[in-house]
Structure 1
Amino acid sequence: MEVKALSLNSRSPNASLKQPKELFSFVRDIDGEYEYDEEKVNKERLSYYYLPDSNLNHSTIDLSSGFNKFKQIPGEENLPNYKTFLTALQKYEEKHGSKSKVNIITFRGIMTKLLTLPYNSQDSLDLNIIKYDGQIFINLDTDIELSRQDKESQERLNLPTDKQDYLNKCEFSGYKFETLATLPKPWSDCSRQLIERRNKKIVNNYEQYLSVVRSGIGNLKMILVGEVDGVWDYKPGVNDGGSVLDHYIELKTSKVIENNGQVINFEKKLFRTWGQCFLMGIKRVIYGFRDDKFILRTVEIYETNEIPLLIKGNPLHENENSGTPPINCMSAIRWYGAVLEWINELVVDENKAYRLNYNPSMKAVTIRELPNDINERLRNGEILTSEFKAWRESLKSS
């Protein structure tokens, strides 16, 4: 197969969207272990938003507090993990006695990178793709991603100590905000001590609540898994009516905005957050704004469906000279439809593996075939697991 290329200017005429629907959820606990029992997942692991305005009056909430005790998962353990994802999906399919009928099975984070690529075109992207049982599986190339992380870590180590410390605390502050802004159960079920001592809780990025949704664009159907930060009010039961996804929230932090340049930078960040929420059907984003000393100053709530209008309507973009076009969320959706259609058309051979690459200097994505040894690696542990393949084969013979 010769290398095929798709320009970032490509747009699909058929970008009709299928409303995401949650199929099931599972969690990763403080020890890095996974729990798939849905009753335990919802009862023990779901977080609930609680941060009254009164907490912010004359705020002394320090988002760097507890940094030295941060329980941080190693980078290699925090990459997209098909083994646990397919274990969860297999349990769901076994419960329903059938294969999930979709075209693509992958991670929300990877799809966010593709969706936002036309307006976030400075970073390289390397994805491995295989087709199995009529479905496409897409993951980051773990070797390249870990090498990239190591390079970034080394570059940070070469910075002055105070700069390193600041950047590390910037990352930590997001997890601290999640810890301070959520409770482990609804407010009415929490003791006053539990509510007031959240600041003392050791912050970690091990614990994750993972939602698996079915969605699609154009003629393509897909299953995505992504982390959910918490619930705005409550999570309805299966028979309560309405969408579970309507109640989920995304929690983020950013520096307070003080000038026009920071407005533009924040809107780029807000665009990526919109992409994350849009793909999963999450309706609400809550941003905590901190100052340079990591004191929480304000909290703003954004409706996901309003973000495209906020970004598009900003006159500051008319004066931007970055070389990147003003962000247009609808255009990004049409690009997303085009690139997924293109992948679906090219990735057809179930005996081969493919690499999707984006190089910022080319302003295009490319697909090429991968050597047999990588193909074997992806089909025997790195993407597909023996348990999942055995399950799918059992469906064919039944």
Structure 2
Amino acid sequence: MPTIQTSSRSANTALKQPKELFSYSRTVGGTWNFDEEVSKEEAISYFYFPDSDVNKKINLSDGLQNFQKIPDMLNVADFPSYLRSIQNHEQETGKKIKADIITFRGIMTKLLTLPYNLNSPIDMYAIAYDGQIFLKNNDELDQSRRDKEQEELSSNPQKKEHLERCEYVGYKFETITTLPKPWAQCSRPMIEKRPKKVVNNYEQYISVVRSGIGKVKTVLAGEVDCIWDFLPEGGENILPHYAELKTSRVVDTPHHAMQFEKKLFRTWAQCFLIGIKRVVYGFRDDQYILKDVEVYDTEEIPLLIKDNEIPRSNNPRILCIEALKWYGALLEWLVQSIDRNNEQVAYKIRYVPGQNQVQLSECSKEENEKLRNGAILSEEFKQWRDSIRQT
């Protein structure tokens, strides 16, 4: 069983400049749209939130009872739609996407942040197909863990309600700080009535980005919250115009500072992996009232974390460069350990807290069949790739 120690580091952390290949989206009705022009026209939002609006004492928990929430099992990284978007792009360009690893940004975020998140287990699947490695989260196991947590919370309704509100406020913050069109194209009522707008988490705009580290090339799909300024034209790189939206409790104690540092580190990883340059944080109090809005430059976050002088107790200082060295070593190990020419074997990638290593093992025959027949690879995608392999 191949393993890699979590203390492993790569000497080569040369990063490939992220570049968006294409985008696709999901509508409020839950249907997927693979027309990139339509996605950029209809699905992407634009940031607009005047500083003076912070003084309006906006309650980020308002409207929770009307929240249009997608079921948990549908709110996972949808591989069939991802593969369909890749197929659509390849058919339009006439070229197969070049990559060693194809997966979602969320999966790579888990792997990149592992050295400073050693208490969280990792369970993933990997399969090789057409010379490329496809990584997928074990959503069923994660759902089982969430179900268990919900069962435990049933005896503590106050805590359960708090966690539900904390989840909701993030989507509420997105709703009150974005517009469906550039500001100049929006009516005054459209702008001012955002606090009353029904919140949903069905709608998604997803950017598919080519990147990588060292010799390993990656293609990652990640949700983008909004455009920061304007939508560029004429082939200009769109990634610097995207922004990530986050919420957090106000930081007023050393304990909260430590919690925010960990959250900011994860946010940095999410943005860094697909080239998003800005993060907008909305800070709320314990009554969920928006108290402040801060903008962070993604490239400056590692230095902010490194220079953060807070009491650490037994918590190690987070160094983003160390996380990158680990990430480089891990991806090199995966590419070397998985035979990309063997399409008959599926793998499990596991990290168990306390074991200090990531393990790679072959799946059972039943899991193998499941992963190759719909759980990761759709029949439509396999037929498409087989057709271009024969030409």
TM over 0.5: yes
Distance of 2:153 and 2:120 partners within structure 1: 17
- Corresponding residue of 2:336: 345
Equivalent residue in structure 2 for 1:326, among 303, 317, 327: 317
Number of residues of Structure 1 aligned to a counterpart in Structure 2: 389
Question: Could you give the per-residue CA deviations for residues 15-62 of structure 1, whole angstroms, max 9, x where no partner exists?
Answer: 1000110011111111111011112111111100000011112x3201
- Corresponding residue of 2:389: 396
Equivalent residue in structure 2 for 1:214, among 210, 230, 240: 210
TM-score by length of 1: 0.96
Equivalent residue in structure 2 for 1:229, among 204, 208, 225: 225
CA contact (8 A) 2:242 2:276 kept: yes
Distance of 2:84 and 2:278 partners within structure 1: 29
Question: Could you give the per-residue CA deviations for residues 194-236 of structure 1, whole angstroms, max 9, x where no partner exists?
Answer: 0011111110111100000000110011110000000001111
Equivalent residue in structure 2 for 1:335, among 323, 326, 333: 326
Equivalent residue in structure 2 for 1:152, among 129, 149, 155: 149
* Comparing 36-45 and 288-297, the one that deviates more: 36-45
**1:106 matched to 2:103:** yes
Letter in 1 for 2:386: E
- Corresponding residue of 1:177: 173
**1:268 matched to 2:262:** yes
CA contact (8 A) 2:248 2:283 kept: yes
**1:97 matched to 2:84:** no
Letter in 2 for 1:138: L
**1:56 matched to 2:50:** no
Question: Could you give the per-residue CA deviations for residues 257-289 of structure 1, whole angstroms, max 9, x where no partner exists?
Answer: 111111111000000000000001000000000
Query: SS at the partner of 2:17?
Result: strand
Distance of 1:51 and 1:182 partners within structure 2: 7
Distance of 1:65 and 1:5 partners within structure 2: 48
- Corresponding residue of 1:80: 77
Distance of 1:395 and 1:56 partners within structure 2: 54
Equivalent residue in structure 2 for 1:141, among 138, 142, 148: 138
Structure 1 portions without partners, runs of 5+ = none
Letter in 2 for 1:226: G
Query: SS at the partner of 2:380?
Result: helix
Query: SS at the partner of 2:49?
Result: coil
Query: SS at the partner of 1:19?
Result: coil
- Corresponding residue of 1:373: 366
**1:19 matched to 2:12:** no
- Corresponding residue of 1:165: 161
Question: Could you give the per-residue CA deviations for residues 145-178 of structure 1, whole angstroms, max 9, x where no partner exists?
Answer: 211121122122221x222211111110000000
Question: Could you give the per-residue CA deviations for residues 343-383 of structure 1, whole angstroms, max 9, x where no partner exists?
Answer: 11111132101101001111211111111111111011000
CA contact (8 A) 1:98 1:395 kept: no
CA contact (8 A) 2:127 2:133 kept: yes
- Corresponding residue of 1:246: 240
Letter in 1 for 2:188: R
**1:187 matched to 2:179:** no
Query: SS at the partner of 2:333?
Result: helix
- Corresponding residue of 1:197: 193
Query: SS at the partner of 2:248?
Result: strand
Distance of 2:369 and 2:34 partners within structure 1: 28
Equivalent residue in structure 2 for 1:357, among 350, 374, 385: 350
Query: SS at the partner of 2:292?
Result: strand
CA contact (8 A) 2:118 2:354 kept: no
Structure 2 portions without partners, runs of 5+ = none
Distance of 2:220 and 2:152 partners within structure 1: 33
Name the Cα RMSD after superposition.
1.0
> Structure 1 residues 92 and 210, CA, compared in 2 at 3 Å: closer, same or farther?
same
Distance of 1:136 and 1:15 partners within structure 2: 20
Distance of 1:340 and 1:268 partners within structure 2: 23
- Corresponding residue of 1:118: 115
Task: Name segments (4+ residues, structure 1) moved above 4 Å.
Answer: none
Distance of 1:139 and 1:296 partners within structure 2: 36
Distance of 1:367 and 1:240 partners within structure 2: 40
Distance of 2:208 and 2:20 partners within structure 1: 6
TM-score by length of 2: 0.98
Equivalent residue in structure 1 for 2:299, among 294, 305, 317: 305
- Corresponding residue of 1:296: 290
Distance of 1:396 and 1:280 partners within structure 2: 29
Distance of 1:211 and 1:283 partners within structure 2: 14
Distance of 1:68 and 1:140 partners within structure 2: 31
> Structure 1 residues 357 and 200, CA, compared in 2 at 3 Å: closer, same or farther?
same
